[in-house]
Amino acid sequence: MISVIIPTYNRAGLIGRAVESVLSQTYADWELWIVDDGSTDETARAVQPYLTDARVHWLHIDHTGLPACARNAGMRKAQGEFIAFLDSDDRWLPEKLALQIEQFTNQPTLVLAWSNAVFIADDQSPERPYFDQPLRLEPDPIRTMIAENPVITSTAMIRTAVLIRTGLFWDSPAVFAYEDYDFWLRVASCGEVRYLPRPLAIYYRYGQGLLPHDRFDLIKRRINVLRNFRQWTNNDLHQSLADQNIRVDKRRFIKHALMNGEFRKAWEIAWH
């Protein structure tokens, strides 16, 4: 069985689309945990009609503002041999679970599988692949993953047994928006990973790009992830790669900050 985890917060107008994409899967042996991070809108009412399906479960938690907390709450409830993740504003294509369970069945050492996705920047933009170039994951996928997170969370599936070694998502503001990146690095270190170039999900992005202060916070969080991974892994090469990427990230941001007269931010990153 596959346990599907959908974290949500104030997504009354979108959650139905995500749930229906699970119900439409050609592979039917799944359970769904919708974890509400203390929504204040009509999300609970929007989900109610789907609870008539015995496979669909609703879990309400106090608001944290951290998707990792909601995912972790769902994972603690999960009964499946596998766990698949779906964000509440995205949706799956019908063969998503079937194709990935086939990958896991054919490869007992596989711990993480993900795929490409159709990317839509807003409801009116043209569709395009999220990745328009091949991902280079051989011979060492960690080398690619340390440089940049290649995993689209709404396409990811893991073997539940790997959690014995990795633990759950890091539910701290110190890695907010990077908690998935931290998790995939740990999972990928425990076995084989597979990327399917075929899109298996629709990934939506709403709103404008990042503001400068957002980029500043995100680079600090990415450095926190790399430092955490360096401490977690026993692989000397991966530790060295994490250190190298931390130095590159710092130099890149400091140069950008100095060119824009942001001396305080440059100083803070230098000593972060």
Q: What pLDDT digit, counting tens, does each position of 43-68 carry?
A: 999 999 999 999 999 999 999 999 99
Q: Would you say residue 226 has pLDDT above 60?
A: yes
Residue 122's pLDDT is: 73
CA distances from 254 to 34, 119, 214, 234, 243 (A): 41, 31, 15, 30, 17
Instruction: Read off the pLDDT band of 262 (50, 70, 90).
Output: confident
Q: How far is C-alpha 162 from the chain's CA centre? A: 16
Look at residue 118 and tell me whether its pLDDT is greater than 90: yes
Least confident of 8-17, 47-56, 113-122: 113-122
**What's residue 124's pLDDT?**
66
pLDDT of residue 254: 81
Percentage, residues of the chain above pLDDT 90: 79
Whether 261 shows a pLDDT value over 90: the answer reads no
What does the pLDDT average to over 89-117? Answer: 98
The answer, yes or no, to whether residue 155 has pLDDT greater than 80, is yes
Burial 124-148 (b: 16+ CB within 10 A, else e): eeeeeebbeeebebeeebbebbbee
